[in-house]
Structure 1
Amino acid sequence: MSQLSNFVFAPALPEIGRYFEISAGRSQMLMSVFLSGYASVQIVVGPLADRFGRRPVLIGGIALLAVGAVTAAVAQIVAGVFVGIFILSVGAGVLPTVGQAMIRDSRDAQATLMILARLGTALALASALTPIIGTSLVGTLGWRGLFAVLAAVVLALGPFAFVSPETLTPPVEQDKTRPHLAVTLESYRIALSQRRLVLYATMIGCLTGALTIFFIGAPFLFMHKLKVSVHTYGILAFIAFLPFIIGSIAVRVSLRRQWLSLHANILVGCGLAVIGAATGWLTSVLEPSVTLILLAAGTFTFGLGMAVVVGRSAALSEATRDIATSSALVTFLMTVLAAAISATAGVIETIEHAPIFSLMLVSALIGFAAAFAGNSIARAAAAT
């Protein structure tokens, strides 16, 4: 549900811009608002889930997601859409952090790695389908209809949260004898001391930010510059994201057959992401075409699938306590980076081919450097 809400409204950005008569850059800032809310909730969701349990926090996140979607659907001014998107993003930010903590609660580290890898493939498929879903809904129901359908889906799935088991056992009673702020700060201090957590969160944030740049710029690039229809754009976006699914499957096979270590797989994925972004940047000196853009984007998303799907497992590999807090910190760091990168795209109005891939290349290079450092730390730890 969280993954669906991330990109499903991206195809509606041009429609929202035309409806409220705002610039492309300002309509793209809706994605930055989403990422900002998604990141900000991580400051509290991890400690809350570690203190009071996973289930009540999960229920609260679903409720906020529904309220945000309804608010955006009925907004009469553009500020209302911004408010709705922010509320929606806060709810969406709760779900993956709590969900992954619930997996870690009930499985050992190796089992968690494989479950998250399989989950990553499913999320990749959801991400690939969201542009098609979004464009279909916008084309038939308009942008308000898109948010209305999102709200209906959230409400339909809400009962599952009420019947989900509580996995935080036993409750952390000892923390309740100390001031909550002190417990929270101590948890974050411990999490921040884990260098691999910070480095791999940086890697995920940079690559996710680069992907966000593509998906907020792609509707304008394909529909405005290359003059494709909204339905055709949905198909092209699916084709561009399909290699992500293949990459996520490839990394699972590599890990299961032990061809490469977890950290080496991530490094290879980051390298492919850099190659894809660089290919896109090189094509910017030519007249952009659908084929060249899809080739560059496909190479990038294949590498992204290899790196990001298992990146969180690498980031949490040193975590032994306060799992939800550590998971929330990873999400916070990566989302802040992604929001900053997408905000940069919004400010310069990346509706052209060159700016999209230039920003993607810079982000991918930083992500590769972070993964390289994380791999070096892992190798040094294995050698001792």
Structure 2
Amino acid sequence: MLRLTSTATVALLATLTALGPLATDMYLPAMPSMAEALSTGPDEIQLTLSLYMAGFALAQLFCGPISDRFGRRPVMIAGFALFLFASLLCMLASNIETLLVGRFLQAFGGATGPVLARAAVRDIFGPIEASRVLSYMASTMALAPALAPVIGAGLLLFFGWQAIFTLLALYAVAMLLLLVFAMPEPLPIERRQSIQPSVILANFRMLLTQRTFIGYTLTNATGFAGLFAFLSGSSFVLIDFMGLTPFEYGIGFMLIVAGFFVGSLVSGRYSHRLGRDRLLQYATLMCALAGTTMAGLAFAGVYTAWAVIGPHILFLVGFGILMPQSMAGALAPNPQCAGSASSLFGFLQMTVAALIGALVGQFHDGTSHAMALTIGLAGVLSMVSFWSLARPASRQAEARPSLAK
């Protein structure tokens, strides 16, 4: 077994967290081909992404509280086993209905990786150091979404879209082996909580009335909605509308994820020097400017790949800073129920993203308008959430010790 505070343990937690972006990003270049192969339309194929997010959100309400009672490791083992089964179901799907069921089950199993890896970081490193560790984890796991579309495009070209789900199944097998033979349990027995519904609901009620938790969570969720809007609509905009090949799309996606990588490195490097709220101030402004720029270019009739990719690189730099800082801000005041806090955080993140991101499929008109407008709206809402909720709550919390004196 690895030591809890070792670099290897942090790397393992990052690879567990990477399952989320792998399961969403790897099949993006294949979505138009999958629609044709399964004799369905773009709206139903986009539904596989929305349904994945919905299942991911729902699963988080259960896996976090259960892990507060039984520990992080056994719940992750069960989740990755379910993900393995669901990936095989997707691989064998011959119609859209089977694929939708498989994607929902994939989400239900895959949610345990990101949710419980976040909670494990809070268990091991505490409220201050968790911001830095989450930032470096984010920069490491940025390799997953950077490489996933390129790998997916290659598998599509040489083996067909089913090979993408075969590779996801193999990834799940590797993670199961690491969990069983290498991952230590991060949650001490003395900090385990009851699994009684009344206790779980009391924790959720406390978190939903905690302005700090809600403020940082909505700052993250609305920013994530901009990323989800791009995931939902970019293959149809860049491949179908603008004429990129799946491989060119994968290269563009790598450049966008490089922005996230840069942002997460900045977040880790300057976490102690500038502080959480100063970084979030810059990050939310960056997301708002990038999103509104993309929307402005789209409605001005600038239909080139760089009018989409360029602004979204900047958006992802901002989100790379925003994600670990807002995540740590939401979890910091709640060490006694880190699993429940991580669950509710993830549920709200995915729910808000799915609702806002659904606008892309609902109003897609064959151009970049719907996607660009949604990303612009998400950036603005993230900035508003930080300034109106997260920042005032953080200042109140900072003022309490001095008032007590």
| TM-score for the superposition, normalised by structure 1 | 0.94
- 1:282 paired residue among 284, 296, 303: 296
Range with greater deviation from structure 2 (237-246 or 123-132): 123-132
Residue 267 of structure 1 and its aligned partner are, at CA, apart by 2.1
**Runs of at least 4 residues of structure 1 off by over 4 A?**
171-174
Task: Give the 5 Å matches for 1:36-185.
Answer: 36-163=54-181, 164-171=183-190, 175=194, 180-185=196-201
**Offset of residue 214 of structure 1:** 1.0
Question: How far 1:171 moved relative to its partner?
Answer: 4.6
3-state SS of paired residue (1:146): helix
> 1:254 maps to which residue?
270
CA distance in structure 2 between the aligned counterparts of 1:55 and 1:90, rounded to whole angstroms: 16
Deviations along 1:307-331, one digit per CA (max 9) or x if unpaired, are 1132100111211311101111100
Q: Which runs of 5+ in 1 are unaligned?
A: none
Q: Tell me the residue number matched to 1:317.
A: 332
- Structure 2 distance, partners of 1:161, 1:171, is 22
CA-atom RMSD, angstroms?
Answer: 1.6
Contact 1:194 1:318 in 2 (8 A): no
Amino acid corresponding to residue 186 of structure 1 in structure 2 = A
Structure 1 match to 2:314: 299
The residue identity in structure 2 corresponding to 1:104 is R
Greater shift, 70-79 or 289-298, is seen at 289-298
Deviation at 1:276, TM superposition (A): 0.6
Deviation, 1:93, is 0.8
Show the counterpart of 1:224.
240
The answer as to whether partners of 1:196 and 1:374 remain within 8 angstroms in 2 is yes
- 1:326 paired with 2:344, answer no
Superposed, 1:22-33 pairs within 5 Å as 22-33=40-51
**Residues in 1 aligned to 2:304 and 2:21: alpha-carbon distance in whole angstroms:** 29
1:281, CA displacement in angstroms? Answer: 1.0
Secondary structure (helix, strand or coil) at the match of 2:270 reads helix
Aligned to 2:372: 357
Instruction: Choose which of 215, 225, 230 in structure 2 pairs with 1:209.
Output: 225
Which amino acid letter does the alignment assign opposite residue 280 of structure 1? M
Which of 338, 357, 366 is residue 342 of structure 1 equivalent to?
357
Q: 1:231 to 1:207 in 2, by over 3 A?
A: same
Picking from 280, 285, 291, the partner of 1:271 is 285
Does structure 2 conserve the Cα–Cα contact (< 8 Å) formed by 1:37 and 1:90?
yes
Please state how far the C-alpha of 1:73 moved relative to its aligned partner.
0.5
Partner of 2:3: none
Looking at structure 1, the residues matched to 193 and 375 of structure 2 have their Cα atoms a distance apart, in angstroms, of 45
Once the 2 structures are TM-superposed, how far is the Cα of residue 123 of structure 1 from its aligned partner? 2.0
The corresponding residue for 2:395 is 379
Give CA-to-partner distance per residue, 1:227-268, whole Å, 9 cap, x none. 111111100111122111111111222224x1x220121121
Contact kept? 2:191, 2:336, Cα under 8 Å:
no
- Residue deviations 1:314-371, cap 9 Å, x none? 1112113111011111001101111112222222236421211101111221111111
Tell me the distance in 1 between the aligned counterparts of 2:198 and 2:245.
54
By how many angstroms is 1:280 displaced? 0.6
Q: How many residues align?
A: 379
**Mapped partners of 1:221, 1:367: distance in 2:** 24
Identity %: 23
Matched, 1:18 2:32: no
Is the CA contact (8 Å cut-off) linking 1:264 and 1:375 kept in structure 2? no
8 Å CA contact retained: 1:266, 1:308: no
TM-score normalized by structure 2?
0.90
**Contact 2:284-2:322 within 8 A present in 1 as well:** yes
CA–CA separation in structure 2 for the residues paired with 1:121 and 1:191: 28
Distance in 2 separating the partners of 1:174 and 1:154: 28
**1:32 aligned partner, one-letter code:** S
Deviation (angstroms), 1:53: 1.4
Moved more, 343-352 or 56-65: 343-352
Query: 1:172 Cα shift?
Result: 5.2
Contact 1:31 1:342 in 2 (8 A): no
Cα distance in 2 for partners of 1:174, 1:72 equals 36
Task: For 1:174 and 1:360, locate their aligned partners in 2 and report how far apart those are by CA, in whole Å.
Answer: 39
Cα distance in structure 2, aligned partners of 1:2 and 1:135: 18
- Does the aligned pair in 1 maintain the 2:150–2:251 contact within 8 Å? yes
The equivalent residue for 1:366 is: 381
Cα distance in 1 for partners of 2:266, 2:125 equals 23
Supply the distance in 1 between the matched residues of 2:109 and 2:352 (Cα, whole angstroms): 19
Question: What per-residue deviation string (whole Å, max 9, x for no partner) do you get for residues 156-204 of structure 1?
Answer: 221111122222212557736xxx1112111212222321211221121
Q: What amino acid maps onto 2:230 in structure 1?
A: F
Q: Judge which range, 53-62 or 103-112, deviates more.
A: 103-112
Q: Aligned AA for 2:185? A: E
- Determine the C-alpha separation between the residues in 1 that align with 2:72 and 2:190: 11
